[in-house]
Amino acid sequence: MGALALAIAAPVAYVAGFTVFKLTGRGMPRLTGARFLHTTWTLASSPAWLFGLALLIGGMVVQSIVLTRIPVSAVVPMYGPVMVVLLLVAITNFRERVTPGELGALAVLVLALLAFAAAGGLLREAPAAGPAGSWNPDAPLWRVALLIGPSLLFPLWLFVVRDSPVDGRHAKRVTGVAFGLGAGVLVGCAESSGAALARLLRHDLTDWQHVLRTPHLYIVVVAGLLGAGLAQIGLQRCRLSVVIIMLAVGSKASLWLGGIMVYGQPWPETPRKFLLSAVGLVLSAASVFLIPRHEREDPVAEEPAAPARTPFAPPHERPRGVAEPSWAPMLPAPVVQPRPAVRPPQAVPRSAAAMRYAAMRNETAAPGEPG
């Protein structure tokens, strides 16, 4: 039961860390993967964001230890109750509205987790987790490359190519499905390599020479940080409930498949467990398609508070209300002299002869004719 308690503590730490990300993202300038240095500097210089990152690291360490004791099929279902709590937090604390499609997606995801729980034996009266598998830290490099390649291509495409914010009246606001899946694939990749590291250091915590000769530590650092950064970008623009639910789907699917295909985790032993695991994967994929890609309506986005500019921010992106920097040249305002008032031209006085001639014409003019 101690391992199962740790398996519940890991997703709680994850959700707490991502909630901190959501809160800190409100006071940050707009983040985008296309400006990597600007985004990195903004995140690294925020103590609150670093605290949220520490919570994520703690959850990943706990889960890596748990994965060496119980199989993946018993770890994945632990995210079901946490997702429900997360939905309640998003509605009550962040005033997020949940559409019927998203509620249906969450219900399908819960059914998928129940299928995984049945495959792992967690629905019986006396749950038996079974062997945890090898989590072979000396897996062939070509297998590791098969895991890392697809896990990095899609998130990097989101970071560099696709992540170009579109503004304007007709711009559609995304719900965060792509951000959640991309970050989830990276987090799941880091979790798989973290389990291999935990297996390597299980009996000897000082065997760091062997650790440095394997690619697992570098995968954990690179994939974990990229996943946290992509999740922060998504949480700043999109709703917490959508991003974290999609992140859970991507990370657990990547962890389950990577553990079996790369690190030597056993396939389901019986046809019944295999069928339940397959049903869980199909339902998890179906939950992704139930969530719309764009918001139902285009609400006016709240402008973040005016933060200090980072050294890597473009010069034209100064927040509203921020004065010019002290080193900017101050030019005196031009003095405009008022123009003198222009008098209308005065009428030329008429002579007496001209006046008598005009009177004679008026007298001889026919009635109704102009004078």
Nearest in space to 144 (alpha carbons), one of 196, 70, 179, 182? 196
Residue 38 to residue 34: CA distance in whole angstroms: 9
| Cα 77 from Cα 120, distance rounded (Å) | 9
User: 152-157 long-range CB contacts below 8 Å, 24 or more apart?
Assistant: 152/186, 152/189, 152/223, 152/226, 154/181, 154/182, 154/185, 155/182, 155/183, 155/185, 155/186, 155/226, 155/227, 155/230, 156/226
State the pLDDT confidence band at 57, using cuts at 50, 70 and 90: very high
**What pLDDT score was predicted for residue 346?**
61
**What residue spans of the chain are helical by DSSP H?**
2-25, 36-44, 47-67, 72-75, 79-93, 100-119, 141-156, 177-200, 208-213, 216-237, 240-261, 271-290, 352-364
What tens digit of pLDDT does each residue of 149-201 get?
A: 877 777 777 666 655 555 555 455 666 788 888 888 898 888 888 888 888 88
How far is it, in rounded angstroms, from Cα 242 to Cα 126?
34
CA contacts within 13 A on the Cβ side of 110: 13
Task: Give 60-87 pLDDT, tens digit per residue.
Answer: 888 888 888 877 777 777 777 777 788 8
Contacts of 92 (CB under 8 A, 6+ apart): none
Q: What pTM value is reported for the model?
A: 0.73
Ordered by start, the domain boundaries in the chain are 2-290
